[in-house]
Amino acid sequence: MAMANNKTQCFACNKEKITYSCEGCLKRFCLMHLTEHQQMLNEELNHIINDYDQFKQTINEQKENLYNHSLIKQINQWEINSIEKIQQKAQECRELLINSSQRFIKDIEMEFNDLSEQIKQIYNENEFNEINLNYLKNQLIEITQKLNNSSNISIQQDSQSFINEISIISSKISKFNKWKQNAITVAGRNGPGQELNQLNRPERIFIDKNKSIFIADTRNNRIVEWKYNAKEGQIIAGRNGQGNGMDQLNYPTDMIVDQHNHSIIIADCRNRRVIQWLNQYQEILIENIHCHGLTMDKHGFLYASDYKKNEVRRWKMGEYNNQEIVVAGGNGQGNQLNQLNSPTFIFVDEYQSIYVSDRQNHHVMKWRKDAKEGIIVAGGNGQGGNLNQLSYPQGLIVDHLGQIYVADYGNNRVMRWCEGKEEGEVVVGGNDYKNQSNQLNSPMGLSFDDEGNLYVADCLNHRIEKFEIIL
């Protein structure tokens, strides 16, 4: 009986041999050429590794040489040119002022010399009466007033800058980013309730790199996580109902998710505390605080807003009793630039400037590091629905261009403001307060994912909405 022929053609040598398939290219090789093929793949992998190493070296070189960026030279040159313009203009104004003042003083001096001559003449002739004396006194009063009033010179400042403005435009996050106006519901969608596929007045959201959504499910007194495309969430803090026990929450309004150590810091609002959950172990970080908003900067400082004391305080992680300072407000309730009125959500930028949703004042304030008062960067024209107004602002994000995104709670919209501008623009919402895909009902928390999609905690619709970015 003849032996079965189990040989096939080798792709490399084209001979009939016992061959083996490569799972990558799906070609068949004899044993010798399969080994050679694998060697070639190893060499290619080494080339790729070398390319990756070179790219990593390039990144490190650019990180170390940020101040040598070619655009930095353009900025430096703009600075030099602008300073030269300012100095030149200032010198021109100084010279004009000095010349004008010299002429003015010379005229006064000539008048004075004429009067002096008249006095000498009267004195030498020794012939004068009350009329002469009154005349001399009045003339002296007149020229004294002229001298005291200086002249009709004044300074006029033109509101239009004579210096060319400069700004940085990034192609990654453009000032003109837009989002689809019809949202996708990514969490909730089943009305208010406490089932795992429901939410009840969600206030704060955070999107991680895997597009999982962490939600402060406020009226359900819990923090839940909805995995990407999940039909329901899972409770990660507060699974034991409303209460003040260490394993309970009462109206959580904000949170900070640390994905490195799997901890969550929670503004446990009605328990008047900030509490950290770490692998189901709880620790109270701050007590006796009516905290609504939380944030943390890159230096590890924790910031918390107190809507009763109308202030924002800062703590160094692990040193809360020693490092607590007021960084915004703290001067009682009011609408002055050194005051706040029911601050809620907060945001800190890389320069440790604090942005505050000053809810009852219907504006957003920015407090620079160590500032004694803030500036209004969004709203500031009373409560209303015009483009220069806000109504009970809530959720707050500031991008690296300084653009401020704010959940305009009372107007059922999300707005974008640029610092220094007198009005903002509607990004999404603003179409009444019902539950259609282009509508919001009292929006609260905001978040972006890595692709620039915008997520909104649509509070009174009890859902989380995703507005996809238009590329």
Backbone angles phi, psi at 184, to 5 degrees: -105, 130
Residue 162 in this model has a pLDDT that exceeds 90: no
| Residue type (1 letter), 24 | G
The mean pLDDT value for 189-197 works out to 92
Asked if 190 and 198 touch (Cβ cutoff 8 Å), the reply is yes
Binning pLDDT at 50, 70 and 90, where does residue 318 land? Answer: low
The mean pLDDT value for 424-438 works out to 94
Asked if 265 and 274 touch (Cβ cutoff 8 Å), the reply is yes
| Of 25-34, 77-86, 246-255, the least confident | 77-86
**pTM attached to this predicted model:** 0.67
More confident residue, 313 or 170: 313
Per residue in 69-124, pLDDT (tens digit) is 778 888 888 888 888 888 888 887 888 778 777 877 887 888 788 878 888 888 78
Q: Average per-residue pLDDT in the chain?
A: 88
Asked if 412 and 439 touch (Cβ cutoff 8 Å), the reply is yes
What residue ranges in 152-221 does DSSP mark as E strands?
184-187, 202-207, 213-217
Binning pLDDT at 50, 70 and 90, where does residue 256 land? Answer: very high
Round to whole Å and give the CA distance between 345 and 130: 79
The mean pLDDT value for 252-280 works out to 91
> Strand pairing partners for 273?
268, 287
The full DSSP string for 361-408 is GTEEEEE-TT-SS-EEEEE-S-BSSSTT-BSSEEEEEE-TT-EEEEEE
Q: Residue 273 to residues 185, 251, 267, 306: CA-CA distances in angstroms?
A: 32, 11, 7, 11
The mean pLDDT value for 311-335 works out to 85
Per residue in 365-413, pLDDT (tens digit) is 999 999 999 999 999 999 999 999 999 999 999 988 889 999 999 999 9
Binning pLDDT at 50, 70 and 90, where does residue 173 land? Answer: very low
Asked if 187 and 233 touch (Cβ cutoff 8 Å), the reply is yes
Nearest to 386 by CA among 351, 410, 418: 410
Look at residue 207 and give its three-state secondary structure.
strand
- pLDDT at residue 172, rounded to an integer: 45
The mean pLDDT value for 1-29 works out to 85
Q: Which residue has the tokens 């040489």?
A: 65
Burial-class residue 463 by CB neighbours within 10 Å (0-12, 13-18, 19+): buried
- pLDDT at residue 259, rounded to an integer: 75
Q: Give the residue extent of every domain in the chain.
A: 8-62, 79-170, 179-470
User: 184-208: b or e for each residue (b if 16 or more CB lie within 10 Å)?
Assistant: eebbbbbeeeeeeebbbbbbbbbbe
Asked if 294 and 274 touch (Cβ cutoff 8 Å), the reply is yes
> Could you say which of 2.120.10.30, 3.30.70.2860, 3.40.250.10, 2.40.110.20 is the CATH number of the domain covering 179-470?
2.120.10.30
What sign does the CA torsion over 432, 437, 438, 444 have?
positive
Segment (H or E) for 110: helix 70-125
- pLDDT at residue 280, rounded to an integer: 75
Q: Provide the 8-state DSSP code for 47.
A: H
Asked if 203 and 188 touch (Cβ cutoff 8 Å), the reply is no
- pLDDT at residue 158, rounded to an integer: 64
- pLDDT at residue 171, rounded to an integer: 43
